[in-house]
């Protein structure tokens, strides 16, 4: 029985350390990108079913609008690719890390939409919506934001009755975002209570 307790303790410690390492890896990767970005620029490393969605050369700029019940983040790249993140909920900003769930029935009010032009001559695009998953801000400061997104997406054109749900994950790194505050102040959103 004593050996079982020791092994259980070792496995618990390893699981905790593995979780810590995963978070610091994302933050470490984000720091590398932040050094290369200018103010109000972002990168999005997104993969759908294991394939990159945006190219490594895509650089985004955008706007964040924050209020007491929603954060709307819209990013557009130089090739007219666009990502829109809505984190909704009463006092969505109050917990750290900021985290919202997306569900298939849409009751949460949170959403992720992303698209790009795949044939500029024919004006053909490709777009997806997150159907289930999580949007988590692992860094949420007024000068930098890093979001991890994980879940499932479906093609935007057949979102009502998708043929298939595809695995999706992304890292969004945004340096010195342009932020507008609706019915909330900067102090109320970011406060002095943020801790990593």
The residue range of the domain holding 55 is 2-190
Domain-located, residue 134: yes
d(CA 124, CA 138): 34
CA nearest neighbour of 70 among 105, 113, 111: 111
Q: Distances in Å between the alpha carbon of 12 and those of 15, 24, 162?
A: 5, 19, 39
Domain assignment of residue 196, yes or no = no
Distances from the Cα of 88 to the Cαs of 53, 98, 109, in angstroms? 25, 11, 5
Q: How many domains does the chain have?
A: 1
pLDDT at residue 196, as a whole number: 41
Could you tell me which residues are beta bridge partners of residue 114? 83, 128
* Contact status, residue 174 vs residue 71, Cβ threshold 8 Å: no
Beta strands 144-155 and 166-175, pairing class: antiparallel
Would you state the structure tokens that stand for residue 176, as one six-digit string?
């010195």
d(CA 42, CA 44) in angstroms, rounded, equals 7
133 falls within a domain: yes
Q: Is residue 195 part of a domain?
A: no
Asked whether the beta carbons of 174 and 191 are under 8 A apart, the reply is no
CB 71 within 8 A of CB 65: yes
Tens of pLDDT, residue by residue over 58-91, are 999 999 999 999 999 999 999 999 999 999 998 8
Asked whether residue 16 is domain-assigned, the answer is yes
* DSSP classification of residue 158: G
Report whether 67 contacts 47 (CB < 8 A): no
DSSP sequence for 19-87: HHHHHHHHHHHHHHHHHHPPTTEEEEEEEETTEESS-TT--EEEEEEE-SSEEEEEEEETTS-EEEEEE
pLDDT tens across the length of the chain (196 residues): 454 344 334 333 334 344 444 455 778 888 999 999 999 999 999 999 999 999 999 999 999 999 999 999 999 999 999 999 999 998 899 888 999 999 877 778 899 999 999 999 998 999 999 999 999 999 999 999 999 999 999 998 755 677 789 999 999 999 999 999 989 899 999 985 444 4
Looking at residue 159, its pLDDT comes to 56
The answer to whether position 93 is within a domain reads: yes
Residue with tokens 């500029």: 120
- Nearest-angstrom CA–CA distance, 36 and 174: 11
């Amino acid at each position: 029985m004593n050996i079982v307790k020791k092994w259980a303790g070792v496995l618990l410690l390893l699981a905790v350390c593995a979780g810590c390492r995963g978070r610091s890896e994302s933050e470490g990767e984000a720091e590398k990108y932040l050094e290369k970005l200018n103010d109000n620029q972002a990168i999005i490393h997104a993969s759908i079913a294991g394939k990159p969605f945006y190219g490594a050369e895509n650089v985004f700029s955008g706007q964040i609008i924050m209020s007491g019940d929603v954060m709307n983040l819209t990013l557009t790249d130089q090739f007219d690719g666009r990502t829109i993140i809505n984190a909704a909920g009463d006092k969505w900003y109050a917990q750290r890390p900021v985290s919202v769930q997306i569900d298939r029935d849409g009751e949460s009010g949170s959403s992720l939409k992303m698209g790009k032009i795949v044939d500029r001559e024919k004006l053909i695009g490709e777009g997806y919506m997150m159907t289930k998953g999580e949007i988590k801000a692992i860094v949420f400061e007024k000068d930098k934001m890093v979001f991890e997104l994980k879940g499932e997406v479906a093609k935007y054109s057949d979102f009502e009755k998708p043929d298939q749900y595809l695995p999706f994950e992304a890292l969004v790194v945004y340096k010195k975002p342009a932020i507008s505050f609706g019915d909330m102040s900067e102090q109320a959103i970011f406060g002095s209570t943020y801790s990593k």
